[in-house]
Amino acid sequence: MSKRKPVDLLLENITIEAVAAEGKALTHYEGIVVFVDFAVPGDVVDIRVFKKKKNYMEGRIERIVKPSPERLPAFCEHFGVCGGCRWQPLPYERQLEAKRQQVEDQLVRIGHLTVPEIRPTLPSLKTQYYRNKLEFSASDKRWFLEKGVDPEALSQAERVGLGFHVGKFFDKVLDIKTCHLQPEPSNAIRLFIKQFCVENGYEFYDIRENRGYFRNMFVRTTEDGQVMLIVCFAYEDELRRKALLDAVSAAFPQITSLWYLINEKKNDSIGDQSTVLYKGADAIYETMEGLRFKIGPKSFYQTNSLQAERLYGVAREFAALTGNEVVYDLYTGTGTIAQFVAGKARKVVGIEYVPEAIADAKINAAANGIDNCEFFAGDMKDVLNAAFIAKHGRPDVIILDPPRAGIHPDVAKVILDAEPQRMVYVSCNPASQARDLAILCAKYRITAVQPVDMFPHTMHVENVVALEKR
């Protein structure tokens, strides 16, 4: 069977027309849509096409003939190679409108839902250094921008990398010098650890071969300057582990919570791993409207702290609480939304799959003096049923903040059977949200839609939808 001939088509002097889905821009060539990465409307470019289908093509910019008047210089040296912050050249106002349009496309054009006018996207208070959590992966064969580099011919310092995975390659890591997503000392800690490991001969991890010692690291920060560091090793070596942890602790006294873990699996997820406190406090704490939330090494917390407060404010506004309602907060995480609305509800019931998150939610509620919240752990489709509702009270309001995949059909059925007066659906994926809303709209109508920007310079958008019983 012969291999398909690769596409190699150059389109010259093409004007980019609009922002498209998934962080791309689009134009047309002979009536066919062409999707292009890293382009700005108004750019005149030469496009190298690498995929050609019947109804569309995909390409990359070969040359910018004339930049758009709107094009901004990228602020990050890793732009175009690192997978994040793809919209750096796009003015922020354009980004916000593109996110509102993305929500409209998913809910109205694709989902065929009837919605009121979608509000303008709520802008992030910070557009750089807004993240409170980053993971950096180690690799013994970093991603090289130059073609034909033989990693085996290089020294360890030249060969290894500590940074982000490149595009869709699970085993490719781009060595990061400066990242503009998280405030210091995030960059300084990462660079120190890399240098220490290189100078002391620590083997960086090879995820394909499952070999090496230093695997990855997480940095978590708070708005008032607390820092948590979690360092992951592939196997236990007490002497080397202590040497690294002692060195980073001495160099960065601002690290308030230092953890490590031994991960012998072939993937880097730590949800099923045991974390060990090495030094300092067992958690860091974020505050929101006077509420204090405990964040452990595996806790879920919205990644943009300042914007999370605005997001939850929208959810509370849409819930329209009077103080008499029983509220169910489904997929409650560490109970942030539950506690955020508790002051305006009679009772809040939170449900979450992760037991550790529910443990944190109970601790947070007690520490905040909130006594009208109850939290339960388990798979939503198993926990939320008619018997549970009969025991804990029929909800007047349901707030949903599910994972990207949305809600299980069984959960949707229980919600429809419970018939709360109002619902608030918070989603990080308008596509799955539209699918779920189509089911819920059998008994409900959509009364408000508010996109919220949690991740500037990316195509991602959070969306909050209010529903009322028909």
Enumerate the active-site residues: 428
**Cis previous bond, 185, omega within 30:** yes
Look up tokens 């394909």; give the residue: 208
> In angstroms, rounded to a whole number, what is the distance separating the alpha carbons of residues 185 and 442?
50
Residue 337 is classified by DSSP as H
Tell me phi and psi for residue 294, to 5 degrees.
-80, 130
Q: Which residues are paired to 400 by β-bridges? A: 330, 425
Cα–Cα–Cα angle for 118, 123, 127, nearest 5°? 150
Residue 381 burial (CB count, 10 A): 15
> In angstroms, rounded to a whole number, what is the distance separating the alpha carbons of residues 95 and 300?
26
> In angstroms, rounded to a whole number, what is the distance separating the alpha carbons of residues 373 and 329?
10
Structure tokens at 249: 């602790």
What's at 97, amino acid-wise?
Answer: E
> In angstroms, rounded to a whole number, what is the distance separating the alpha carbons of residues 346 and 39?
51
Sheet containing strand 326-330, strands side by side: 373-377, 347-352, 326-330, 397-400, 422-427, 462-469, 444-452
- Tally: H helices and E strands in the chain: 11, 22
Q: What is the CA radius of gyration of the chain?
A: 24
Q: Which residues are paired to 221 by β-bridges? A: 227
Look up tokens 């404010």; give the residue: 313
Cβ pair 271, 254 in contact under 8 A: no
Distances (CA, A) of 17 to 29, 30, 38, 92, 327: 11, 14, 13, 17, 46
Structure tokens at 306: 């300042």
> In angstroms, rounded to a whole number, what is the distance separating the alpha carbons of residues 136 and 458?
19
Cα–Cα–Cα angle for 22, 311, 96, nearest 5°? 40
> In angstroms, rounded to a whole number, what is the distance separating the alpha carbons of residues 254 and 234?
26
